[in-house]
């Protein structure tokens, strides 16, 4: 066995499997021994320990923002399904979408004239409410017919 490198607080050794492991490493007097490394179990402890410790082990995923201990399952709604967590963006809720695909105000179960700030009119391709919203709000993908407004927008000379 030979010592390859010595850093401030550790030795890097090259060991051969045939070597005997009865060895002693000379530790310089001015080097203090390593202290215990803490194992952090939750985010609250991590914030406190991070202020005083340079090195610690995380026993949880620090990027997981969901805390299962605070989970409260609702008693109302669907008995077969409960959505307890979601990550990321949802296209028909977080980005501009036609009124009939809105997840904030579902088409058919809420008044069709109701819209969120990202809904747009699929007849004239303008943000909702358009000038003729009371008639256009009832248009869905199945009932979307070529209209003079749509044709003039896309096929203008």
Structure tokens at 39: 């194992």
Among 19-28, 45-54, 76-85, 93-102, which is the least confidently predicted range? 19-28
pLDDT value, residue 11: 57
Name which residue leads in pLDDT, 126 or 140.
126
Q: How large a percentage of the chain has pLDDT more than 70?
A: 50
Q: What does the alpha-carbon distance between residue 98 and residue 101 come to, in Å, rounded to a whole number?
A: 6
36, 60, 64, 110 from 49: Cα distances, Å: 13, 15, 19, 50
Please provide the average confidence, as pLDDT, over all residues in the chain: 70
Structure tokens at 8: 């401030």
- What is the model's pTM? 0.40
pLDDT value, residue 39: 78
Q: What is the mean pLDDT of residues 128-140?
A: 87
Say which DSSP state 107 is in: B
Please report which residue ranges of 90-129 form alpha helices under DSSP H: 91-94
Q: What does the alpha-carbon distance between residue 114 and residue 104 come to, in Å, rounded to a whole number?
A: 10
**Continuous segment of H or E residues that includes residue 49:** helix 43-50
Indicate whether 152 pLDDT > 70. Answer: no
Rounded to 5 degrees, what angle do the CA atoms 107, 108, 109 make?
95
Q: What does the alpha-carbon distance between residue 113 and residue 36 come to, in Å, rounded to a whole number?
A: 64
Q: How large a percentage of the chain has pLDDT more than 90?
A: 5
> What is the Cα gyration radius of the chain?
32
């Amino acid at each position: 066995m030979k010592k390859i490198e010595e850093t401030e607080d550790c030795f890097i050794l090259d060991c051969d499997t045939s070597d005997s492991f009865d060895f002693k490493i000379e530790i310089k007097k001015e080097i203090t021994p390593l202290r215990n490394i803490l194992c952090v179990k939750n985010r609250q402890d991590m914030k406190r320990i991070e202020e005083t410790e340079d090195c610690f082990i995380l026993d949880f995923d620090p990027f997981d923002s969901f805390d299962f201990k605070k989970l409260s399952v609702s008693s109302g709604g669907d008995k077969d399904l409960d959505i307890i967590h979601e990550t990321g963006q949802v296209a028909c809720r977080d980005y501009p979408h036609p009124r009939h695909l809105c997840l904030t105000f579902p088409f058919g179960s809420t008044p069709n004239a109701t819209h969120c700030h990202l809904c747009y009119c699929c007849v004239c391709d303008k943000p909702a409410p358009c000038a003729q919203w009371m008639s256009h709000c009832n248009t869905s993908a199945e009932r979307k017919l070529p209209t003079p407004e749509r044709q003039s927008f896309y096929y203008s000379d």
